[in-house]
Amino acid sequence: MRRTVGQALLGLVVALAMLGTAQTAAAQIHLNPAYGDGTLLGPTMARGAVVWSHGRSVEVEDSNAPTPLYMKTMRDAGWDVFRLDRMRVSDTLPNSSRALAGYADQLKDRGYRKVVLTGQSFGAFLSLMAAGQSDRVDAVVGTAPAAFGNFSDSYDSFRDNAAQLWPILRGIHSARVMLFFFHGDDFDPGGRGESARSILSSRRLDHIVVDQPALLTGHGAATTGMFVRRFGACILRFAEAPPRQGDPSCDESWGRTPSAELMRAAAPEPRTGSGTSSPAGTGARSFLGVWYGAYINGREIALAVDRVEGDAVYADYVLGPGMEADQPMERAQRKGRIENDELVFDEKGRNVLRYSIRTDGRLSATWLDRSGKGRLETTLRRMD
């Protein structure tokens, strides 16, 4: 009898401990508005609710990670944008996906017409898993899905970022699915695009799989301005309705074809001087012309090199508008020189620009903040 009572008490203690652990885990997973400016419209006015889930790091709290820029596209289109913020101590695939599925049901219960789950890396896994646990999720957008480490630090397990993704996709019953895989992603075992398309097609789920889009590289490519320039409109269309024949291309041409506004600004302005070239300027003449490209932060650039005088090279540097309202187009006249086959603009008190000609005829371009705290790199192609 004593043994039976003891066993019963032990079972009660274990049950209470498990309940306490579950309650603690739930208390550390929160659905919060993504923006603190009071922009929530509410279920009756919003086009829908979208929940973004951040990644997971063993070193920092990713709940502090900024909401990606493409979420602003949805907010500006009339969606209410939320975040699933999680403390990493309790952030597991079962705990967090279960909580996310519950929050999706709650949003539908509150009257939101559509509920879309989006996520980066670990958050992409959670969003896909939650869509398998609730049939009230309308769509999922997953960028660089990963939950099992990267090639460098977790070689023995990082292949599970593919192997464990397939049963999760097969478990989705009704939600449409949009996935992004990026070139140079250390968390990506490779070959996931075609396999994902095959599984989603076999499930007869509406889907778009974007596999290694040009100019976007690395695990964090979806957090960039270039990503939202290229794919923001497509993500919005996918959130609102299934893909239809005749839809615009999902991969916008932004960054490959210059805007008319930028090219007008890049037209060389008249300068004084003869424009004659010394022997030193002969090598500089290979830089003459208008060059075009884009930075990963979502700003176009044009470099119009129009004159060489002696050792001096003159150019107009045009930076297109940024993603924020306080980032207008900028144009600056620059005076540089050739240094070890590199065109360098480093006038005192100004940001440093460095260019070198590649073997394919394009320019490798580097922008360096004058304080040394910022660096951007890209490739420019000749436009004339």
Task: Give me the torsion for CA of 14, 15, 19, 25, rounded to 10°.
Answer: 40
pLDDT of residue 36: 85
> In this structure, how many other beta carbons lie within 10 angstroms of the beta carbon of residue 195?
14
> In this structure, how many other beta carbons lie within 10 angstroms of the beta carbon of residue 33?
14
The pTM for the full model equals 0.85
pLDDT of residue 196: 98
**Residue stretches of the chain with pLDDT short of 70:** 1-27, 268-282
Burial of residue 363 (number of CB atoms within 10 Å: 0-12, 13-18, 19+):
buried
Question: Rounded distance, CA 299 to CA 225, Å?
Answer: 8
pLDDT of residue 310: 86
pLDDT of residue 268: 66
For residues 238 and 141, the answer to whether their CB atoms sit within 8 Å is: yes
Phi and psi angles of residue 361, each rounded to the nearest 5 degrees, phi first? 90, -5
pLDDT of residue 24: 46
User: What angle, rounded to 10 degrees, do the helices at 2-27 and 93-109 form?
Assistant: 60
pLDDT of residue 12: 35
pLDDT of residue 98: 97
For residues 151 and 158, the answer to whether their CB atoms sit within 8 Å is: yes
Question: Rounded distance, CA 305 to CA 281, Å?
Answer: 12
pLDDT of residue 173: 94
Return the beta strands (E) in 234-374 as ranges: 289-294, 300-309, 312-319, 330-339, 342-345, 352-357, 363-368
Burial of residue 164 (number of CB atoms within 10 Å: 0-12, 13-18, 19+):
middle
Domains of the chain: 29-240 (3.40.50.1820), 260-269+278-383 (2.40.128.120)
pLDDT of residue 270: 64
pLDDT digits (tens, 9 = 90+) for 58-103: 778 888 889 999 999 999 999 999 999 999 888 999 999 999 999 9
